[in-house]
Copies of this chain bind each other. A is one copy, B any other.
Amino acid sequence: MSKTVDLRIGNREMLHNKVCTVLRKAILKGDLKPGERLVQTELAEQIGVSRMPVREALRTLEIEGLVTMEPHKGAIVRTISKEDIVEIYELRAILEPMALKKGIPNFTEEDLENLKKYHQQMVETDSDEVYTELNAKFHKLLFSRTQSPRLLGFIETISLGFAQDTPLIITGQIKKSNQEHEQILQSILNQNIEQAGNHLAHHISRTGEELITSLDK
């Protein structure tokens, strides 16, 4: 009998990672509201696992900035303030271009094709949902070829701890974003590393600023 090859990738994911994903989605969707206490036993029961994976998941979420934990007191959902958003975009505007610049030499032909493809699809689509997804893929691919594990970890920590779809609140955002993506893409294709970094930094900063002003009303 042929040995069962390791097909079940889904099952191989660790339990605390699954739990983390579930809780993160619940927080970002708003099912778990800011200020709400997260009782380990309750969550464990609801999700259908024991308390340990829940604990580890909460610790990860704390690092991502989605919950706060205090010894013997437990975890509560963190209220995302305007200052948080400012911080997130400030950090992204520094770290993502840094990673992009370090990673450009490592881009394969396939990577470049994918970037072009994502960009083209973003230009063409009408669906906000599809756009959000493509936008996340585009940005992720931009920074993910750097060889700096700590830098990569920091960026991913920030990205996961914040809803990806908020930028879509802004009207006219998509058109500007597409133009800026185009600039970034061209700079990369021309091997103009510095310019690519600057375009990306500007793109993120502007998005952040517009998000802030749109929240002020």
Residues on A facing B (Cβ under 8 Å): 12, 14, 52, 56, 59, 63, 65, 71, 83, 87-88, 90-91, 94, 98, 147-151, 153-154, 157-158
Asked, given contacts A14-B71, A56-B56, A59-B56, whether A150 binds B98 with beta carbons under 8 Å apart, the answer is: no
Tell me the dominant secondary structure on chain A's binding face.
helix
Q: Give the contacting residue for A12; candidates B14, B71, B148; CB below 8 A.
A: B71
Is B87 a contact of A150 with CB atoms below 8 Å? yes
Is A65 a contact of B98 with CB atoms below 8 Å? no
Asked, given contacts A56-B56, A98-B94, whether A65 binds B12 with beta carbons under 8 Å apart, the answer is: no
Q: Give the CA-CA distance A53 to B157 in the complex, in Å.
A: 23
Identical copies of this chain, number: 2
In this complex, what residue of B is CB-closest to A78? Answer: B149
Q: Give the CA-CA distance A20 to B205 in the complex, in Å.
A: 37
List, in ascending order, chain B residues with CB within 8 A of A98's CB: 90, 94
Q: Which 8 A-B pairs have the closest CB atoms?
A: A87-B148, A154-B154, A14-B71, A65-B150, A87-B150, A94-B94, A91-B150, A91-B151
In this complex, what residue of B is CB-closest to A94? Answer: B94
Known contacts A52-B52, A56-B59, A91-B154, then 16 further A-B pairs from the complex at CB < 8 Å, ordered by chain A residue? A12-B71, A14-B71, A56-B56, A63-B153, A65-B149, A83-B147, A87-B149, A87-B150, A88-B150, A90-B98, A91-B148, A91-B150, A91-B151, A94-B98, A150-B157, A154-B154
A-B contact pairs, 27 of them (CB 8 A): A12-B71, A14-B71, A52-B52, A56-B56, A56-B59, A59-B59, A63-B63, A63-B153, A65-B149, A65-B150, A83-B147, A87-B148, A87-B149, A87-B150, A87-B151, A88-B150, A90-B98, A90-B148, A91-B148, A91-B150, A91-B151, A91-B154, A94-B94, A94-B98, A150-B157, A150-B158, A154-B154
